[in-house]
Chains A and B, each alone.
Chain A
Amino acid sequence: MPTDAALFTPNLTGRDYTTPDLRAKLTGAARYAEDFRAEGMLACRLLTSPMPHARVARLDTRAAQGMPGVRAILTADELPPPADSVADSGATIKASPWAEPALSMEPLHQGAPVLAVAAVDDATAVAAIEAIEIEFAPLPFVTDPLDSLRPGGPDARTGGNVWLPPARAGEQAAVGRLKWTDEDFRAAGPGRLPMGKAAAEWSYGDVEAGFRQSALVLDESFVTPNVSHQALETRSTLAWWENGKLFLAAGTQSTIQTVPAIARWLNMDPKDIVFLSEYTGGGFGGKITASVSVIIPALLSRKANAPVMLRVTREEEQYIGRARPSLAGRMKAGFSPEGRLLALDLFVVQDNGPYEQQHDAAIAGRMGSLLYQPQAMRWRGVPVLTNTPVRGAQTAPGGLQVSAFMGPLLAKAARRLNLDPLDVCRINAPAGRAPVGPPRPDGTLNAATSAFVREALDKGAQAFRWGERRARPADAGTVRRGIGVATGCFVAGTVGFDGLFVITPEGRLRIHCGVGNLGTESFSDVQRVLADAMDVPWEACEILWGNTARHLPWSCISGGSQTIHSMSRAALAAALDARRKLVGIAAATLGGVPEDYDVGGGRVFRRGDGRGLSLGEAARRAIELGGAYDGHECPDDVHGMTRTAVAALAGQGLVAVARDAFPRDGQSYSYVAAFAEVELDTETGMYRITDFHAEADAGRVVHPRAFGGQMVGRSMLGIGHATTQKWFYDTRYGLPVAKRFHQTRPPTILSMPERFTWGAVGIPDPQTPVGARGIGEPPTGAACAAVLCALAHAMGDDAFIRAPVMADAVLAAMEPENGKNRANRPRGLSANV
């Protein structure tokens, strides 16, 4: 699609500005969920499971019930059955019996909520929980996916251990049982991931022929860590009821889309839910919509007939927050002498956690096919259930892991083939409308809307001075340097959402925004496009967000970095609707036909003589004219929730509302090329990242500072996976020993690379009229892999079998006799050691 200059002239778009939410964040005025207070508010605390898998054998709450100040106790039998849901396509999605319940008498991981108490204060609620008599009968548990796949290995759930795809078309995936044979494990040998029967697979091209033609075939295994999201704001929630309506204050990534999610959990009408979430203290995929922390206080509040605040502690957040699944990967890859990837056979075992199927393993296959463009590829995956905390999508789910798998592999291939790793990245990089797996039923592949990864690699290499660094002689002494380059990619946009704003009689633009505000600033950034398309100054715009009582339109979830793409299109669509209505009003008011008029400079005016109306005058006329002009009529193609909002706004001014119906051919992805240099002290195992550069291919940059914030922040997230963040488990008891920040080690400000720079190639995506794609996800995989490549460059290609690489791993690689080279130990392919 050509970018039509008449639709959109970037003026504010592409420039820095101060977002409307920032001042409150800096003065303490911003209210996050736990900052709310309500008259008569009760404190809610959870009784959680001490065991990885158990059945509650005895429960006696009488002593707690009888305590003064205890107002209500909520148990699992009081939960409503979750409702089926309806996809945007209209298809019914049946409520899954395998889904995470808010409370359970058969907890599937330590920290799983069993019941909840509401009391007049926190101390009383705590005392009540300690007064509850409860006995747990232990059940078999497993915390390592490979243990569960062994013959006779334990199942995380009584119904099975693996997510299996639907047996027949039209059915839903379900949990079943899958065990491998002893021979499967024996065949792998030490340090290699066994490959038994997969739960799902796909392929294209002739993989075996590709290997036969290859000059080099590598067979690598690697394990990525389980990493909790650990948003700084835990998922505390305040719930109260008024006249049959449920009010909730909670952090979320997606304001409007959270409402139907809550409605489904509670089996109630979305119209009866008001959701407040003006500020959210971080999400990273962990707060995409609702979770059990919203459901529990909602039900307790109804039962106790008082507002209920569930304050979620940091340790509880570790349990009922979300985490990225560890993936164990085995990659067989065949290369031409020039380093071209001729065939890739990727096998992935996923630590799924106990509940809903996670898609990291599958997405790893898809992103691998796009990012490295193998001429033939097979993907196989097994999502294995474990009795560990609940997983969820985390920034570039599957995308990060496949970069961590493949980045070091490409670098190793380069060294084996005596090539520059940069050239191997380059020769395999997607370009233009690059094909992407898995294959469609007819065997053909999907295509990306665009890719300019070579441009990013070239520009980045120049900024990083890759060639110069590569030419430097090898180090002598105990300090070693290593450099690495790697790429990352992820989904970066969806289509079909709604834009909505009102031109008020005062001539201002009141923009209704259903996007969550989790700090990426996209809720505001996309409106810059709207202001440009309306040719109004930013000061004329006001954004309403974070409260569903403010009549918000149907918006994308703020996950998968789709907002900047999806909602800039929706904003533009609404702006075009406003322009259509403005010229219509002008023609009806001043004579002539709409085509005689144009919109600009805060007016609608006739070309030629300039006669026209101010926006305020036009808004007043819209109210007089009624109908679609002031929202008394609403287009049919917008979402039902948007229609509800429009009905509420009718008569307030010129109501602009439209669904994004701009065409798009292909799937939208964004890409990052990352470059890292490490200095590693082989005597202590400590290292630091001295230089780091990330170069983005994410289309047009809408808000440079916010874009840079994503480039740095999401790179740091990937660097955390490469350097310090992981879980540790006691395998005998199936319990985590690392639960606090100082044990799970999120990066600090001093973990930053010494020099950190970023750039963007900035070529607009041709398949969206704004030209912008999302940037939140792809830096993670690129950064993680670039650092792993640099470490492998410093320490040797086979030094590390898992990420993160901490001092103990470096020292073990230096002196395998002391560390007994853990790659060769029985737990060598476990993530949590």
Chain B
Amino acid sequence: MATVRDGMPHFDLYQPDSVEDALALLDRLGRGAHMDDGTDGPLRAWVLAGGLDCLERFKDRIRRPSAVVDLARVGALRGVRREGDETVIGPMTTLAEVARHPDIRERFGLLAEAAAQVASPQIRNQGTLGGNLSQDARCWYYRGGWPCYRAGGNICYAAAPGAMNREHAVFGARRCVAVSPSDTAPALVALEARLVIRNAARTRMVAAEDYFLGPETDITRLTVLEPDDLLVEIRIPPTWAGTRFHFEKVRDRPVWDFALASIAAAMRQTGDRIDQARLVLGSVAARPWRLPQVEAALAGRPREEAADAADLAVRGAVPLAHNGYKVTLARNLARRAILGQPPGAPSLAMGASGLMGAPDPSPARQTGKEAS
């Protein structure tokens, strides 16, 4: 049979307007029916948020779910609110809303900044925080339909001889060398966010750090979400509210491109001394790559003195044929995060705050109706 990589296959579309209805649908359809001959595995319902990750895969005819559950009408999944001293974000809140929300900007600017640097304005208008966290890998072999480990095959093309892997993993690779493409994931791991996941049977809460999976745990998915699961809340505790943040994203073009590497850091300081820190790299491993050894080395030291701890960031890095630069980059990003340098000179900050993808400067937007 010949292959065509364009044409959205048919699916049944469901548009529940409550979480309960969505869960009931996923309970019924999420695991789906097996194929008549069982060869291609189960078809199942697909949860549609902003659509930017999955519609492409449908059009490419690489994913062909029998049913799609569109969350666009589930109002309860959208919006930002305070519950006590926790900030609670609905996963269907758009990245643009996250980036400009006053409470998030004031308390968790790290997340606002990360959201503001995703892709392009339209993608931030459509794409949701939940979708950005839960998106699939962007390895160009995997996305191109090559039957690799992650696609259920038995080879990683990106790590094979002759492969092009400049955008692939330098940490934690096992068989598969794809990276987590999310910009907001490292920020939420740094902020110790907790994610509330529901299915028809139960509700569970996982630390952001545990939401993401490396290939050693499951080589075919990047998150713990099961087919009948729904991410219903992103809860950010006050732990790091108002501390010193550093977010930086390095990419080839200032718009659209995924990170070559990014860093999200939160640091509690007394004067110039770092009391406690969380540093998380993005796009260097299949999941946000926390740097506990650096964090430990920083505790209690003045930041100028502690900058050498950045070298620990790349201990154990295993570069591939074309991504050795990521080792240099990861170390430099960690160093800059520790020192709190603005990302380069102001005029140089492609993709850094204040210039590229900065949160919308308009006050009108910050008080928009969708911000409630």
A–B direct touch in complex (beta carbons closer than 8 A)? yes
Please list the residues of chain A having a beta carbon within 8 angstroms of any beta carbon in chain B.
45, 47, 50, 122-123, 126, 129-134, 313, 315-316, 478-479, 679-681, 683-688, 690, 724, 728-733, 737-739, 741-743, 745, 747-751, 754, 806-808, 811-812, 814-815, 818-820, 832-833
- Point out the residues of chain A lying under 8 angstroms from B328, CB to CB: 811, 814-815, 818-819
CA distance A724 to B252 in the complex (A): 7
- Cross-chain contact B258 with A807 (CB below 8 angstroms): no
Residue of A nearest to B1 (CB): A130
Report which of B160, B251, B325, B343 forms a contact with A811, defined as CB distance below 8 A.
Answer: B325
Residue of A nearest to B323 (CB): A808
Task: Tell me if B3 is interfacial: C-beta within 8 Å of chain A.
Answer: yes
- Cross-chain contact A820 with B324 (CB below 8 angstroms): yes
- Cross-chain contact B161 with A819 (CB below 8 angstroms): no
- Point out the residues of chain B lying under 8 angstroms from A680, CB to CB: 348
Please list the residues of chain B having a beta carbon within 8 angstroms of any beta carbon in chain A.
1-7, 10, 61, 140-141, 144, 157, 160-164, 166, 248, 250-258, 260, 319, 322-325, 327-329, 332-333, 335-336, 343-345, 347-348, 350-351, 356
B369 to chain A, nearest CB (A): 29
- Cross-chain contact B325 with A808 (CB below 8 angstroms): yes
Report which of A479, A738, A749 forms a contact with B348, defined as CB distance below 8 A.
Answer: A479
- Cross-chain contact B4 with A681 (CB below 8 angstroms): no
- Point out the residues of chain A lying under 8 angstroms from B252, CB to CB: 724, 745, 806-807
- Cross-chain contact B256 with A129 (CB below 8 angstroms): no
- With A807-B325, A811-B325, A833-B322 as known contacts, state yes or no: A732 contacts B161, CB within 8 Å: yes
A314 to chain B, nearest CB (A): 8
- With A126-B4, A833-B322 as known contacts, state yes or no: A748 contacts B254, CB within 8 Å: yes
28 cross-chain CB contacts under 8 A: A47-B4, A133-B1, A313-B5, A479-B344, A479-B345, A479-B348, A681-B343, A681-B348, A686-B344, A686-B350, A686-B351, A687-B348, A688-B350, A729-B164, A730-B157, A732-B163, A737-B140, A737-B144, A742-B257, A745-B252, A748-B254, A749-B255, A751-B254, A807-B250, A807-B325, A808-B166, A808-B323, A833-B164
- With A130-B3, A747-B253, A807-B325 as known contacts, state yes or no: A684 contacts B347, CB within 8 Å: no
- With A479-B344, A807-B250 as known contacts, state yes or no: A683 contacts B332, CB within 8 Å: yes
CA distance A681 to B342 in the complex (A): 12
CA distance A281 to B251 in the complex (A): 28
Which has the most chain A C-beta neighbours within 10 Å: B1, B10, B162, B252?
Answer: B252
Report which of B4, B163, B356 forms a contact with A750, defined as CB distance below 8 A.
Answer: B356
CA distance A819 to B329 in the complex (A): 11
- Cross-chain contact B140 with A738 (CB below 8 angstroms): yes
- Point out the residues of chain A lying under 8 angstroms from B162, CB to CB: 730-733
- With A313-B6, A737-B144, A811-B328 as known contacts, state yes or no: A754 contacts B347, CB within 8 Å: yes
CA distance A748 to B120 in the complex (A): 10
Residue of B nearest to A64 (CB): B2
- Cross-chain contact A684 with B253 (CB below 8 angstroms): no
CA distance A596 to B166 in the complex (A): 76
B348 to chain A, nearest CB (A): 5
- Cross-chain contact A50 with B163 (CB below 8 angstroms): no
Other A-B pairs beyond A683-B335, A685-B329, A729-B164, 19, CB < 8 Å:
A45-B4, A315-B6, A479-B348, A684-B248, A686-B351, A728-B164, A733-B157, A741-B256, A742-B258, A745-B252, A807-B260, A812-B324, A812-B325, A818-B319, A818-B324, A818-B328, A819-B328, A820-B324, A833-B322
Report which of B140, B327, B347 forms a contact with A743, defined as CB distance below 8 A.
Answer: B140
Residue of B nearest to A804 (CB): B252
B258 to chain A, nearest CB (A): 7
In the A-B complex, the 6 residue pairs with the closest CB atoms = A732-B162, A811-B325, A126-B7, A683-B332, A731-B162, A750-B254
A137 to chain B, nearest CB (A): 15
- With A132-B1, A742-B258, A818-B328 as known contacts, state yes or no: A122 contacts B345, CB within 8 Å: no
Report which of B163, B257, B325, B356 forms a contact with A685, defined as CB distance below 8 A.
Answer: B325
- With A50-B3, A808-B325 as known contacts, state yes or no: A748 contacts B164, CB within 8 Å: no
Residue of B nearest to A475 (CB): B345
- Point out the residues of chain B lying under 8 angstroms from A751, CB to CB: 253-254
Report which of B10, B327, B356 forms a contact with A818, defined as CB distance below 8 A.
Answer: B327
- Point out the residues of chain A lying under 8 angstroms from B332, CB to CB: 683-684
- Point out the residues of chain A lying under 8 angstroms from B161, CB to CB: 732
- Point out the residues of chain B lying under 8 angstroms from A732, CB to CB: 160-163
- Cross-chain contact A684 with B343 (CB below 8 angstroms): yes
- Point out the residues of chain A lying under 8 angstroms from B257, CB to CB: 742, 745
CA distance A833 to B163 in the complex (A): 9
- Point out the residues of chain B lying under 8 angstroms from A687, CB to CB: 348, 350
CA distance A684 to B344 in the complex (A): 9
- Cross-chain contact A690 with B164 (CB below 8 angstroms): no
- Point out the residues of chain A lying under 8 angstroms from B348, CB to CB: 479, 679-681, 686-688
Residue of B nearest to A123 (CB): B7
